[in-house]
Every structure is written in C-alpha cells, then in structure tokens.
Amino acid sequence: MKLPYWPALLCAALFSASVLAQETVRERADWARHFDAFDARGTMVVEDARGEVPATLVFDARRAAQRYSPASTFKIPHTLFALDAGVLRDEFQVFAWDGAVGGIPAHNRDQRLRSAMAASVVWVYRQLAGAIGEDGARRYLAALDYGNGASADVAGDYWLDGKLAISAHEQVAFLKRLYRNELPFRVAHQRLVKDVTIVEAGRDWILRAKTGWDGRIGWWVGWVERPEGPVFFALNIDTPERVADLPKREAIARAVLRSLEALPE
C-alpha cells in the first residue's frame, strides 16, 4: 500500500505551489544604462533561481512579451528534433562541406555538432531540417509548445524567415525545462544539447548560451549554473547596423549578469 506516502506528496505539491505564487517579478528600469552604453534598443528577462523564491527581472516588459523569430537560438530545440528523429546520431557525426564558400570562414569546412552549434552553421541545420521533414517538424513543434510553434509554417528556413516566433519570456521558460530535463525528449539527448552549448566555465560556474540573428533582431539566451542555483536569461535587441551590432548582444547581457553577480567580473 502506498497511501501513507500521499500526505507527504501533497505537502510537497502545496509547498511548490506556494513558492510559485510567491515568485517575484520586478521591472529593472535601471538596466537601461547597459543598453544605452551600447546605443541599443531591446529587452532582457532574467530568472534568478539562486534563492528560495525565484525572482524574475525584466527590462522593457512590453517587449519581453513580444514574439520574434528565434533565428539560431532555435538550434537548441532543432538539435533535439534531429537526435530524436535519428538524422543526427551523436556529437561526432561529420557533416561534409560542399565547397561552397560563404562569408563566414568558420562555416567553410566539415562540421560536427559542437562546431555547428558554436559557429551557428546554417547549412548543417538546413540538412537536418530536410531530413526531419516538414511533417516531422510540425509534430515536434506541437509537442514542444515552443513559442507559436503549434501553428507555425515550417517550410524552408522557418526558424529564420518563416512564421515561427518566440518571446524572451518564452525563451526562459523553454530553457528552464531543458535545464530540468523536462522536455519531451530522451534525457541523454537533453544532456548532450546542454553540453554542446557550454560557452565558458569557471571553478564554480558554467555558462551555457546560444546567439541568434535573423537580420533584424539579435538574441543571446541561456543560463549560468552556480552552486546556489541557476540564473536564466534571454536578451534580444534591434540590429539596424546589422553585423556591426552583433557584439552588443553578449556585451549587454554579460554586463547585466555581472551586475547580478551571476558572472564574475
């Protein structure tokens, strides 16, 4: 009989609900200085889970709820689709470069998963998308509940110039599920994706993140793992100067994370 365990489970559930109800959401208008320092317009959402009660911090709450193309931040769920479909076997699979020279030198060579993720190699993910197929992509997006994905057009590079869109708040919600291995994919696949998104690490912290850019909007999303808990973040900015604006994504987000002592100085 398992009935004696139900009171404990009920108490745990009520405690979790109580914590969620107490979660604080604060507008951080003072973060404008970080955006102003780089002459950038955008938003940033941070969920700081280092305390007993998570705190959600937001700069420009209206924009944080607005959906934009995920661009290459979609490589995170896209990799999970490919692994589940079996068109990507593991991190060692080689994708042969066809010799077509593009404007980004790091793209002009054979690729593996780790290099394709780090350099945002679009041609690799076009291959994966073709192998997954449009019907497969629709099924995965519907199962994942990613942004507006349940009704998205998945023809072509749908994560770049299609109808697929996601907000900064939704990016953070997705990343939290990945961090907890709660997505509808094998835990081993989720762990592999988390491994290939490591940007840097210190003695007691790990930064996992992914950039994105669709030509108009630049993203940087991810989280910092620390012993006391994770700090999730999603930033997007306008990029009127195109490539010249791209370094601002990480620069602004890092400044905010350092101000929160999530990243070291």
Cα torsion 215, 220, 221, 226 to 10°: value is 170
Directed axis angle between helix 168-179 and helix 75-85, to 10°?
A: 40
Query: Does an H or E element contain 118, and which?
Result: helix 113-118
Q: How far is CA 259 from the centre of its chain?
A: 21
Whether 72 is a known active-site residue: answer yes
- Spot the catalytic one: 16, 69, 72, 151: 72
CA distance 176 to 232: 7
Q: Taking phi first (over 0 means left), then psi (-120 to 50 degrees means alpha), and beta for anything else, what does residue 65 get?
A: alpha
How much is the CA Rg of the chain, to the nearest whole Å?
19
Query: Considering only CA atoms, which of 2, 19, 40 is closest in space to residue 218?
Result: 40
Catalytic residue ranges: 72
